[in-house]
Amino acid sequence: MIITFGHTKGGVGKSLLAWHTAIALDVPVVDLDFQKTLVFSNSLRKQAGLEPVDIIHIENDDQFIDMFNTWPDDKDIIIDVGGFDMGINRIALIISDLIITPAIDRVTEMAGLSKFHEILTDISDKFDDADIHTRVLLNDISPSSKDFTVVEELVDDFNRFDMMESRICHRADFYNTMKEGKGVSELSKGKAKSELLSLVDEIMKIKKEA
Ligand SMILES: Nc1ncnc2c1ncn2[C@@H]1O[C@H](COP(=O)(O)OP(=O)(O)OP(=O)(O)O)[C@@H](O)[C@H]1O
Ligand SMILES: [Mg+2]
């Protein structure tokens, strides 16, 4: 299954979640983020003497298309899409089996989600085979927040979005582990670890149902 963390809005946690999920699932990652966040964390991982994450670099659109034309269904891979709307990121959205769209629960973020929905509709209209839907994942939320109606109502209004059950809070473990080249799943305990493992369980449930 090709699992993509995709949103045209920057800074919503695509790279952070791609990193932790790839380590938890022990699967390769394609890094389309020009900031190369994952490459940097992987160099820290190597320095720490840990088994590096298998990061696949893509040179051009054709190589990307060839790779995924022949991608076996039973093999999982994660794609970290860059936070902007361009050719290769659009291809990633078309070829993915599951797109997870991290969203932060702030009114100001809602314009970004609505813009992304417009882009998904545009791609789906242009390509016969594409009818793109994504799963919105609340990320970086305050651990004390209980009311997510703003995002939930918006997701309800847009036919290409579904809400994920998992929720990821703002937690220091998510960035502190990355600074050490580790994944939260490699910690002995903690809330970040349990939230990430719930997300992984939900991904596996979606995979089974697919
Ligand atoms: N759940 C979280 N807890 C703590 N910090 C978080 C969380 N999610 C994201 N962040 C922080 O928010 C910032 C942006 O995250 P990240 O780089 O993963 O976003 P992105 O969507 O990949 O951005 P871009 O589109 O620019 O590639 C980073 O500093 C990251 O550490
Ligand atoms: Mg990124």
Residues with CB under 5 A from ligand 2 (ion): 14-15, 33
121-160 confidence digits (pLDDT tens): 999 999 888 899 999 999 999 999 999 998 999 999 999 9
Measured by CA distance, the residue closest to atom 20 of ligand 1 is 11
**For ligand 1, what atom is nearest to the CA of residue 84?**
25
For residues 15 and 38, is the Cβ–Cβ distance under 8 A?
A: yes
Span of 2-6, 34-38, 143-147, 163-167 with lowest mean pLDDT: 34-38
Measured by CA distance, the residue closest to atom 11 of ligand 1 is 13
Q: What are phi and psi of 119, to 5 degrees?
A: -65, -40
The residue with greater pLDDT, 87 or 139, is 139
For residues 64 and 58, is the Cβ–Cβ distance under 8 A?
A: yes
Ligand of minimum distance to the alpha carbon of 13? 1
CA-to-CA distance for 21 and 137, rounded, in angstroms? 13
The model's confidence at residue 208, banded by pLDDT at 50, 70 and 90, is very high
For residue 8, the model assigns a pLDDT of: 93
Fold of 2-209: Rossmann fold (3.40.50)
Domain residue ranges of the chain, discontinuous segments joined by +: 2-209
The model's confidence at residue 178, banded by pLDDT at 50, 70 and 90, is very high
Mean pLDDT on 111-122: 95
Mean pLDDT on 174-185: 97
Spacing, Cα 81 to ligand 2 middle (Å): 7
**For ligand 1, what atom is nearest to the CA of residue 80?**
22
175 lines ligand 1 (CB under 6 A): yes
Span of 23-32, 69-78, 83-92, 144-153 with lowest mean pLDDT: 83-92
For residues 102 and 5, is the Cβ–Cβ distance under 8 A?
A: yes
Q: Give this prediction's pTM.
A: 0.96
For residue 33, the model assigns a pLDDT of: 83
Is 85 exposed, middle or buried (CB count within 10 Å of its CB: 0-12, 13-18, 19+)? middle
For residue 35, the model assigns a pLDDT of: 79
